[in-house]
Structure 1
């Protein structure tokens, strides 16, 4: 089974499960697709007692996909760019202080609350784990997942200001999460001679600062190129090139590709930039293109998550 056939199967399952959810179950797509995929996989497990052909095929698909690479190196940049592109930069600026507070202090508080709760609960099931490792787990899961947040908030009818705060926090908390995780990891692994608070700060500056600067440059360059022409086909391709080329450059420079794509998306998607760089027709095509990319990748992603869980 080659990669084209694997992608074909995933798109087919995504379309089928997406239809079932939209037609009958009507849960938020991210939740509905994961639940349906888990039920489907349980069904395949049951069927395997009589015929294991489908189970072996699903196992083969999962073993051929490097989930970390597919998510972090491919999907994440596209999804974050699409989410940032549809985020109102002016509203985000107006709510910058709550967003900054949530993305920094909020992640830190969550880390210690979750770590403390896990430390108290694990002895109840007979597990004794040092507190530092519980805090490490808290740091691992505290940053909210921007993909799930953006997907669910599109369906939920929450106040606009609250939605903007949550979206902004989810887009910018990764850098803080990395620093907290590495700091606790260094403390837990005290025998590591390379760990120091200075090395953590250096990593933060390079990853976060470098990602922001790269994203700002890419956003500015794409804006200039789009402003100089009036061809919606080429302008859509320019935005696609920004994401693909920008991710490759970020990986080469060892800076944060997700943050770079967030900043680039915000820079290109801002209302003032749109009016100066894009015609109304181009805005419509760019928005529809990235909305489709967002929906397609989200659908495939949560089908994969359901398969990976089992």
Structure 2
């Protein structure tokens, strides 16, 4: 919560600037290579490339040993910029393919609300439901299996509803770090979850 404003500003403004920079660079580079491409397709390419991969960013931050508050800002930005990139992609792909002739500000705002805000609310809901399901039992294996089901299930539901799966899963995961979660997990369960998800994180980093 303390870093919400910084993360939100970087996620939105940073991603928009990155898309613009990449689109302009592609627009100038492709003609030099003998392939003149319309600017709308350059924006689509920028929207694909701009959002950073959260797994690699978090892994790099850990290796660099930056202060925890600074790591939280960078990691948060890399986790939430997906929604902004998806909105820009969705808007410009219609223009590039000719499916839509013009885009209004209201359409952009509605798309952003559905992808980012809708995904966040969905993740918060599924995360809260998972904690309620786990409350009252003390089996670390059930906790781990539920967390895996929460991640995959939330992502699938978000995609079906046209929301950002990445943002939904991040919001669901944040529920496992709330003060309420400390009454759900004991120390043994928390340790098992940390070990398992750290291993998954390292495997994804290697890939």
Q: TM class, shorter-chain normalised?
A: 0.7 to 0.9
Matches within 5 A, 1:93-242: 93-189=1-97, 191-193=98-100, 196-197=103-104, 198-242=106-150
Q: Indicate how the Cα distance of structure 1 residues 187 and 250 shifts in structure 2: closer, same or farther if over 3 A, else same.
A: closer
Does the Cα contact within 8 Å between 1:274 and 1:283 map onto a contact in 2?
no
Q: Indicate how the Cα distance of structure 1 residues 286 and 134 shifts in structure 2: closer, same or farther if over 3 A, else same.
A: same
SS in 2 for 1:155: helix
C-alpha separation in 1, matches of 2:126 and 2:7: 23
User: TM-score scaled by structure 2?
Assistant: 0.86
The Cα of 1:267 is off from its aligned counterpart by 0.9
C-alpha separation in 2, matches of 1:161 and 1:200: 32
Does the Cα contact within 8 Å between 1:182 and 1:200 map onto a contact in 2?
no
Q: Indicate how the Cα distance of structure 1 residues 276 and 115 shifts in structure 2: closer, same or farther if over 3 A, else same.
A: same
C-alpha separation in 2, matches of 1:133 and 1:195: 15
Q: Does 1:245 align with 2:158?
A: no
Question: Partner residue of 1:282?
Answer: 189
C-alpha separation in 2, matches of 1:98 and 1:200: 22
Mean alpha-carbon deviation: is it higher for 126-135 or for 98-107? 126-135
C-alpha separation in 2, matches of 1:97 and 1:188: 33
User: TM-score scaled by structure 1?
Assistant: 0.60
C-alpha separation in 2, matches of 1:132 and 1:215: 32
C-alpha separation in 1, matches of 2:101 and 2:29: 33
Does the Cα contact within 8 Å between 1:222 and 1:268 map onto a contact in 2?
no
Q: Indicate how the Cα distance of structure 1 residues 261 and 94 shifts in structure 2: closer, same or farther if over 3 A, else same.
A: same
Does the Cα contact within 8 Å between 1:136 and 1:184 map onto a contact in 2?
yes
User: Which 5+ residue runs of structure 2 have no aligned equivalent?
Assistant: none
Q: What does the per-residue CA deviation read over 1:55-103, in whole Å, with 9 as the maximum and x for residues that have no partner?
A: xxxxxxxxxxxxxxxxxxxxxxxxxxxxxxxxxxxxxx11111111111
C-alpha separation in 2, matches of 1:298 and 1:248: 22
Does the Cα contact within 8 Å between 2:86 and 2:164 map onto a contact in 1?
no
C-alpha separation in 2, matches of 1:204 and 1:120: 29
Number of aligned residue pairs = 206
SS in 2 for 1:94: coil
Does the Cα contact within 8 Å between 2:158 and 2:164 map onto a contact in 1?
yes
Does the Cα contact within 8 Å between 1:212 and 1:263 map onto a contact in 2?
yes
Higher relative contact order (CA 8 A, sep 6+): 1
User: Which 5+ residue runs of structure 1 have no aligned equivalent?
Assistant: 1-92, 303-310
Does the Cα contact within 8 Å between 2:83 and 2:116 map onto a contact in 1?
yes
Q: Indicate how the Cα distance of structure 1 residues 297 and 116 shifts in structure 2: closer, same or farther if over 3 A, else same.
A: closer
**Structure whose CA Rg is larger:** 1
Question: Partner residue of 1:82?
Answer: none
The Cα of 1:193 is off from its aligned counterpart by 4.2
The Cα of 1:176 is off from its aligned counterpart by 0.8
SS in 1 for 2:176: helix
Match of 2:180 among 239, 261, 273: 273
